[in-house]
Amino acid sequence: GNSVTQMEGPVTLSEEAFLTINCTYTATGYPSLFWYVQYPGEGLQLLLKATKADDKGSNKGFEATYRKETTSFHLEKGSVQVSDSAVYFCALRGSSNTGKLIFGQGTTLQVKP
Amino acid sequence: NAGVTQTPKFRVLKTGQSMTLLCAQDMNHEYMYWYRQDPGMGLRLIHYSVGEGTTAKGEVPDGYNVSRLKKQNFLLGLESAAPSQTSVYFCASSYPRNAHTEAFFGQGTRLTVV
């Protein structure tokens, strides 16, 4: 079945550091891939998405490229801010007609001033 | 813009008690979902619905029931709460047919079973 694996956290960075959070997936067909962010005490918000191979999703300085050859969707940001501290979830939505999202375990990012 | 609204936001239950969590969405979405979030395990799907009057089991359905009597509402019930059901519960909704669209999430319900 479909699955998503994220790098374990927590990840602690200093402000303005480069961020990478690894995400790999297993899926049949042609899934869509998503990154969601959860700020403390809040629900999940969509950060970015990519719907086909080689697509790059981007938002708020974050980027991720859909790599079908390596089944990966790594999240990157060139310069993190304290306000980026949150939990980040990688997820996929398969090509079935149920729309179910399969999530990775989440990676906690803490950015220190 | 209400989006997806969950009630209540917090609840403490005693073992064996029952309760119902309500999810309401105002985006006319066909699909609705209930997830639970536990540390180190991401979000796991409990039950979902692809339309009014239909429900299906997800990854971890045991101990839960759901109903979708109205398109905009999706109810999650715990008939006899257990400490293992202590978790944060999230409801989500999305458009059908197009796998490229994202799901929209509520703010969550933090449930503690003592």
Per-residue model confidence (pLDDT) at position A99: 76
In the sheet that holds A62-65, the strands lie side by side as A19-21, A75-77, A62-65, A56-59
Per-residue model confidence (pLDDT) at position B97: 59
B77 pLDDT exceeds 90? yes
Per-residue model confidence (pLDDT) at position B39: 85
Mean pLDDT of all residues belonging to chain B: 93
Per-residue model confidence (pLDDT) at position A2: 87
Contacting B with CB below 8 Å, chain A residues are 4, 6, 31-32, 34, 36, 42-46, 49, 51, 89, 93-101, 103-106
Relative to beta strand B104-105, strand B87-94 is antiparallel
Q: What is chain A's length?
A: 113
Among B36, B74, B102, B107, most A C-beta atoms within 10 A, so best to mutate, is B102
Q: How far is A54 from chain B (nearest CA, A)?
A: 15
Q: Confirm if B49 and B31 have CB atoms less than 8 A apart.
A: yes
Please name the residue of chain A whose CA is at the shortest distance from the CA of residue B34: A100
Q: How far is CA A89 from the centre of its chain?
A: 5
Structure-model confidence comparison of residues B41 and B92, the more confident one: B92
Q: How far is A24 from chain B (nearest CA, A)?
A: 15
Structure-model confidence comparison of residues A81 and B102, the more confident one: A81
CA dihedral B56, B61, B65, B66 (to 10 degrees): -40
Per-residue model confidence (pLDDT) at position B99: 59
Q: What is the DSSP string of A23-87?
A: EEEE-SS--EEEEEEE-TTS-EEEEEEE-STT-EEEETTEEEE-BTTTTB--EEESS--GGG-EE
Please name the residue of chain B whose CA is at the shortest distance from the CA of residue A43: B107
Contacts B104 to A, Cβ<8 Å: 46
Q: Confirm if B49 and B79 have CB atoms less than 8 A apart.
A: no
Q: Confirm if A20 and A35 have CB atoms less than 8 A apart.
A: no
Q: What is the mean pLDDT of residues B1-5?
A: 84
What is d(CA B48, CA B55) in angstroms, rounded to the nearest whole number? 6
Report CB contact under 8 Å: A100, B97. no
B80 pLDDT exceeds 80? yes
Report CB contact under 8 Å: A34, B108. no
Q: What is the mean pLDDT of residues B30-38?
A: 94
Per-residue model confidence (pLDDT) at position A29: 81
Among A23, A48, A49, A101, most B C-beta atoms within 10 A, so best to mutate, is A101
**What's the half-sphere exposure (Cβ side, CA atoms, 13 Å) at B14?**
0
Per-residue model confidence (pLDDT) at position A36: 97
Q: What is the DSSP string of A3-39?
A: EEEE--S-EEEETT--EEE-EEEE-SS--EEEEEEE-
Helix (H), strand (E), coil (C) string for B62-106? CCCEEECCCCCEEEEEECCCCHHHCEEEEEEEECCCCCCCCCEEC
B5 pLDDT exceeds 90? yes
B79 pLDDT exceeds 70? yes
B96 pLDDT exceeds 80? no
Looking at the complex, does the CB of residue B42 fall below 8 Å from at least one CB of chain A? yes
Per-residue model confidence (pLDDT) at position A97: 65
Mean pLDDT per 10-residue segment, chain A (113 residues): 89 97 92 94 93 94 96 97 96 80 94 96
B98 pLDDT exceeds 70? no
